[in-house]
Amino acid sequence: MQDLPDGFDMPLPTDSRAAWLDALEQVADEAGYFEPLGERHFAAFCDAGPNLLVTFETTGGIASLLEDARPLGWHLLERNGWSHLLIACKEDTWFRADRVYRYIDRLIDDGFFEDFEEVVFYGAGPCGYAAAAYSVAAPGARVLAIQPQATLDPRIAVWDDRFTDMRRTDFTSRYGYAPDMLEAAAKAFVVYDQTEELDAMHAALFTRPNVTKLRMRLAGDALQTDLLAMGTLIPLIEALMHDELDEATFARLWRARRDYPPYLRNVLAALDVDNRLELVRALCRNVLARMKAPRFARRLERLEKGGTPAPDMAEDRRTEDREVG
pLDDT at 322: 42
Instruction: For residue 9, tell me if it sits in a domain.
Output: no
The pLDDT of residue 3 is 65
Residue 9 confidence (pLDDT):
79
Per-residue pLDDT tens digits for 9-57: 788 988 888 999 999 999 999 999 999 999 999 999 999 999 999 999 9
Last residue of a domain, one of 212, 229, 258: 258
Q: What is the mean pLDDT of the chain?
A: 92
pLDDT value, residue 325: 28
In a shared domain, residues 195 and 306: no
Tell whether 73 and 148 lie within a shared domain. Answer: yes
* Residues 198 and 282 both lie in one domain: no
* 199, part of any domain: yes
Q: Are both 208 and 158 inside the same structural domain?
A: yes
Q: Provide the CATH number for the domain around residue 138.
A: 3.40.50
Residue partners of 168: CB distance under 8 A and separation at least 6? none
Residue 6 inside a domain? The answer is: no
Q: Phi first, then psi: what are they for 261, rounded to 5°?
A: -55, -40
Instruction: List the alpha helices (DSSP H) in the chain.
Output: 17-31, 59-65, 72-80, 98-109, 126-134, 154-157, 178-181, 197-205, 223-230, 233-241, 247-254, 261-273, 277-288, 294-304, 313-324
User: What is the per-residue pLDDT across 205-215, written as a single tens digit (0 to 9) for each?
Assistant: 999 999 999 99
Higher pLDDT, 87 or 3: 87
Task: Encode pLDDT of 118-130 as tens digits.
Answer: 999 999 999 999 9
Q: Are 175 and 67 part of one and the same domain?
A: yes
pLDDT for 308 equals: 58
Distance spanning both ends of the chain, measured CA to CA = 47
Q: Are residues 190 and 133 in the same domain?
A: yes
* Widest distance between CA atoms in the chain: 71
Do 202 and 272 reside in the same domain of the chain? no
Domain count, the chain: 2
Residues 203 and 292 in one domain: no
Which tens digits make up the pLDDT trace of 230-253? 999 999 999 999 999 999 999 999
Is residue 23 located within the same domain as residue 61? yes
Domain that holds residue 294: 260-324
Task: Name which of 71-75, 96-100, 106-110, 177-181 the model is least confident about.
Answer: 71-75
